Amino acid sequence: MAVRLETDVLVIGGGIAGAFAAYRAREAGARVLLVDRSYFGRSGCSALASGVYPAYMPGDDKDAWMRAFGGPLVNQPLVARSLPVMHEHVLLMDRWGVNWVKEGRKIVRMGAPGRSFANGVWMAEGGPQMMMAVRSGVVGSGVEVLNRVALTELLTSDGRLPTAGRVVGAAGFHTRTGEVHEIVAKATVVCTGPYKFPYPWPGSTLGYMPVDLSGDGIAMMMRAGAELSRLELGGINLNPDNALSAPGLESLMPSGAKWVDQDGRRFLEDYDPKRMEMTQRALLYFAIAHQKELGRVPSMDLREVSPERMQLIRRVIPIVVNNQEAMVGDLTETPVPYTYQVAGTSGIFGAGARVTERGETTVPGLYAAGTCTDMTYLPGGNLPFCSVTGDWTGRAVGAAVGSVEPPQPPAEQVERVTGQVLEPLQRRDGVAFEPVHRRLGELLMEKVGLVLHADRLDAALDELRDIREHEVPRLTAGNPHELAKVWGLTQYMQVLEATLRAYRYRTESRVAFIREDYPIIDNVNWVKMVVVKQENGALRLWDEPLPESWHDPHPVRPTQNLHLVFRNQEAPHAAR
Amino acid sequence: MPRVEVNEQACTGCGVCVDTCPTDVLRLDPQEKAFPAYPTDCQGCFVCQWDCAYGAIRVLVNG
């Protein structure tokens, strides 16, 4: 028997975006159910955050913040409106018990506004303590929580995907008991975070922490008919080589970390000799990945960081430090090698559902906030922008559901979806998770890579189609735990296809998005968003210019320049 | 790959680590002791080690 639950607002995902969305919706008087595939307060990216919540404070130079969070594809007035909310959130989280670094009773900030790693409030006990305190604040407000339930499909008023009606909840299964869950809601808010190749693949550089960010929410929204954008600009993920740990750059870079290769040379001289470590965030990520691709050993050098700062770093990013020290020993003596991953988003560059400032997707009843939307694109400010978009969305949803009648998904859709969800458990002669997972990883490394080209992308899309047609329908799971991984991999493949198609569509290069066949940064033709939508069983892509209002007060100059990478290097893809 | 070690003498079977493990690695065995039921899914995040009030869990992440 399926477990059937009803609520006003269903929030999917318990990171900081989901937490604030749930809190504000509840504050507006709605009944709120937050569903987490893992454990609210321990799941996803926020609990593993890099120890810093970049936060504007009243009296700051707003223009310096705008420079830090700027760029041709950024909605500048929206950034300006988000700044005061960040400050409000720091104070609210302080009341909830988040242990910010303080001098006496005063919350202190470190870093510098206007630089690539912005001025931030530091978490004295890291992301794990921050999220458990946030959890207690949210649960204390009356939000109901359901852990270990993986939602796999949205339910719709007309029973169709994509829908011509509205989203009326979601269905999935408990990852331990296998019990099917049907959750009916007046509004559904997807806050499932970034996506990337999910689950560790031993011996490879793929699969960094959190290992289960498989893009479930984005895939579900796409099937329901929501428009997606920015998939091609999701950026590169970095992580310490041979560890699954997150990069930790938010606290390490403002502390004086330098980047060197195996010969001790500061390789950023090849990319941005003027600004070096203070270069644009996306370019820094690209430079590190590019060095790795060229067969070098890009490493973070902490030898000049002061002992006092190292002591603080050990407290605010314990996961990163523990992992790094297991690899190289004392961080103040030996640089730490880093590696990279492609074809996803990170905690820094969001991509996913196209949303308004109120979190509305293009499908009625369906909202989204945080890194699974196209709105979290602020280099250096992702954690606060997730809390801010969660806040705005929660308020809007809380106000909207008052006038919505209790919905009823068609019984045949519920039956179909809840039947499909357990199918991999029932298959006898099929394909196991591991070989499919491995084949997908090889596809990413061999056919996608860091420097993109249409021919390789087409080959990758062909192989991905083959995997999805011939292997995915035969995937088997031995128990509900394995079922969660099978579904994660399946959802990721759908988002990956949309991402590769968006890579193919944008015919230019831009910061960390590099096309060997289109090496120009093209501010004449490509100050645009690429939109992806599922229609009639296929993906449709188009582009739209950005509204002029986005570029106030800093207009975009209509320039066309060869990407830096192609200027200084004879053969940037030589390692291929 | 990272791995989890449980000290059975110190484990009280409270189940906190089983609740909070982000990747759902841990379960209680019939003797009410935590054990890594899905060891290859450990991501080395140390959440179980911090959440254990009895110091019964260690995460090893030797690259």
Q: What is the mean pLDDT of chain A?
A: 91
Residue A216, pLDDT above cutoff 90: yes
Whether residue A190 contacts residue A220, with contact meaning beta carbons closer than 8 Å, is answered with: yes
Whether residue A200 contacts residue A244, with contact meaning beta carbons closer than 8 Å, is answered with: yes
Residue A511, pLDDT above cutoff 90: no
The predicted structure's pLDDT at residue A64? 83
- Chain B neighbors of A39, CB-CB under 8 A: 19-22
DSSP label at residue A72 = T
Nearest by CB: A481 against B2, B22, B38 = B38
The end-to-end CA distance of chain A, in Å, is: 53
What is the C-alpha to C-alpha distance for residues A330 and B63, in angstroms, rounded to an integer? 14
- Give percent of chain A with pLDDT exceeding 70: 95
- Chain A neighbors of B2, CB-CB under 8 A: 244
Task: Check CB contact under 8 Å for A322 and B43.
Answer: no
Hey, is the C-beta of B39 within 8 angstroms of any chain A C-beta? no
The predicted structure's pLDDT at residue A111? 80
**Strand B57-60 relative to strand A528-535: parallel, antiparallel, unpaired?**
unpaired
Mutate to test the interface with B, among A43, A196, A319, A328 (most CBs of B within 10 A): A319
Mutate to test the interface with B, among A206, A244, A482 (most CBs of B within 10 A): A244
Task: Check CB contact under 8 Å for A200 and B1.
Answer: yes
Return the residue of A nearest to B20 by Cα: A39
Longest dimension (CA), chain A: 66
- Chain B neighbors of A437, CB-CB under 8 A: none
Note the pLDDT tens digit of each residue in A337-369: 998 888 788 656 779 999 999 999 999 999 999
- Chain B neighbors of A47, CB-CB under 8 A: 22, 47
Nearest by CB: A39 against B1, B20, B59 = B20
Task: Check CB contact under 8 Å for A48 and B38.
Answer: no
- Chain A neighbors of B41, CB-CB under 8 A: 199-200, 211, 481, 485
- Chain A neighbors of B3, CB-CB under 8 A: none
Q: How far is A268 from chain B (nearest CA, A)?
A: 27
What is the C-alpha to C-alpha distance for residues A50 and A411, in angstroms, rounded to an integer? 45
**Whose CA is closest to A483, among A441, A420, A416, A429?**
A420
Which pLDDT band holds residue A539 (cuts at 50, 70, 90)?
A: very high
Whether residue A270 contacts residue A287, with contact meaning beta carbons closer than 8 Å, is answered with: yes
- Chain A neighbors of B22, CB-CB under 8 A: 38-39, 42-44, 47, 210, 212
DSSP label at residue A447 = I
Q: How far is A545 from chain B (nearest CA, A)?
A: 40
The predicted structure's pLDDT at residue A573? 45
What is the C-alpha to C-alpha distance for residues A46 and A39, in angstroms, rounded to an integer? 12
Task: Check CB contact under 8 Å for A200 and B19.
Answer: no
Note the pLDDT tens digit of each residue in A248-264: 888 898 899 999 999 99
Return the residue of B nearest to A243 by Cα: B63
Hey, is the C-beta of B1 within 8 angstroms of any chain A C-beta? yes
Statement: the pTM of the whole predicted model exceeds 0.90? yes
Nearest by CB: B1 against A202, A318, A484 = A202
Hey, is the C-beta of B43 within 8 angstroms of any chain A C-beta? yes
Q: How far is B23 from chain A (nearest CA, A)?
A: 7
Task: Check CB contact under 8 Å for B63 and A326.
Answer: yes
- Chain A neighbors of B53, CB-CB under 8 A: none
Residue A572, pLDDT above cutoff 50: no
Note the pLDDT tens digit of each residue in B14-62: 999 999 999 999 999 999 999 999 999 999 899 999 999 999 999 998 7
Longest dimension (CA), chain B: 32
**Whose CA is closest to A180, among A466, A421, A528, A372?**
A421
Can you tell me the ipTM of this complex? 0.96
- Chain A neighbors of B58, CB-CB under 8 A: none
Task: Check CB contact under 8 Å for B41 and A128.
Answer: no
The predicted structure's pLDDT at residue A377? 61
Whether residue A509 contacts residue A520, with contact meaning beta carbons closer than 8 Å, is answered with: yes
| Cβ-based contacts under 8 A for chains A and B | 75
Nearest by CB: B22 against A38, A245, A484 = A38
Q: Give the residue, A338 or A380, on which the prediction is more confident.
A: A338
Which pLDDT band holds residue A576 (cuts at 50, 70, 90)?
A: very low
Whether residue A318 contacts residue A126, with contact meaning beta carbons closer than 8 Å, is answered with: yes
The predicted structure's pLDDT at residue A114? 62
Which whole number is the average pLDDT over A461-481? 97
Return the residue of B nearest to A434 by Cα: B40
Q: How far is B49 from chain A (nearest CA, A)?
A: 11
Return the residue of B nearest to A329 by Cα: B62
Nearest by CB: B24 against A38, A128, A209 = A38
What is the C-alpha to C-alpha distance for residues A441 and B63, in angstroms, rounded to an integer? 20
Task: Check CB contact under 8 Å for A484 and B60.
Answer: no
- Among left, alpha and beta (phi > 0; psi -120 to 50; other), residue B44 is left
Q: Give the residue, A342 or A535, on which the prediction is more confident.
A: A535
Whether residue A374 contacts residue A230, with contact meaning beta carbons closer than 8 Å, is answered with: yes
Task: Check CB contact under 8 Å for A199 and B24.
Answer: no
Q: Which two tokens stand for residue A266?
A: 């500061």
